[in-house]
Amino acid sequence: MSSVFQIIGPPMVGPSSSHTAGAVRIGLLARALLGETPTRAAIGLHGSFAATGRGHGTDRGLIAGLLGWNTDDERIKDAPERAKQAGLEVVFRAVDLGENVHPNSVQMDLAGADGDGIALVASSIGGGNVEVARLDGFETRLTGALDTLAVWHMDRPGFLAQLTAVLAGVAINIATLRTARAHRGAEALTVVETDAAPCAEAIALFRKMEHTRKVRVVPRFV
């Protein structure tokens, strides 16, 4: 079941909940997963995003999200110019991600000031709803509908037990948990959607866990 708000979309600036508001939200998710405002963004537009995105403000929406603006921010129309002022270099191109990928999709490669970077594929699936389907080469699903914890780690016995024990210890309920790995014992990505945002103490414990490489907290969309 979808609510009327999911169908109509969020409060927004722009002509299309899929092409504009969805683009902003993809940018916001990417920014949160990077952990900072990027300094460089290579963005590949797929399908309808490539064909009609410029007219619908998809390019401006993606940049606005990377800058941390929401869907109803009046500055969205000026996002490319504001990005230059903020030191964010953006390059767009058309890409073909295959016929099995949603037509409103984007491939993003981001770099931050500290040298960290991420690569993701995300789609705007209607009504401002979005989904990250691939992150740093791992198949996943991240929507921003719930508070989300993303943990890059080594695939080791007991790691997920420790992770869930910390969440249980601070009384945070898990809605979904997905782990993808390159192969047994190699690098892995765990994405946990929760009913509440992890507190600072819990996040600190996640980062101290043996075999953790990186932790990102993605707040739910209001």
Tell if the pTM clears 0.85, that is, is over it: yes
Q: What is the pLDDT along the chain (222 residues), one digit of tens a residue?
A: 444 444 445 554 554 556 689 999 999 999 999 999 999 999 999 999 999 888 878 999 999 999 999 998 989 999 999 999 999 999 999 999 999 999 999 999 999 998 899 999 999 998 889 999 999 999 999 999 999 999 999 999 999 999 999 999 999 999 999 999 999 999 999 999 999 999 999 999 999 999 999 999 999 997
Task: For tokens 């970077």, name the residue.
Answer: 117
Task: For tokens 């998809």, name the residue.
Answer: 58
Residue 120 structure tokens? 């993701």
Domains and CATH numbers, the chain: 4-135 (3.30.1330.90), 147-218 (3.30.70.260)
Buried b (16+ CB within 10 A) or exposed e, 130-153: bbbbbbbebebebbbebbbbbbbb
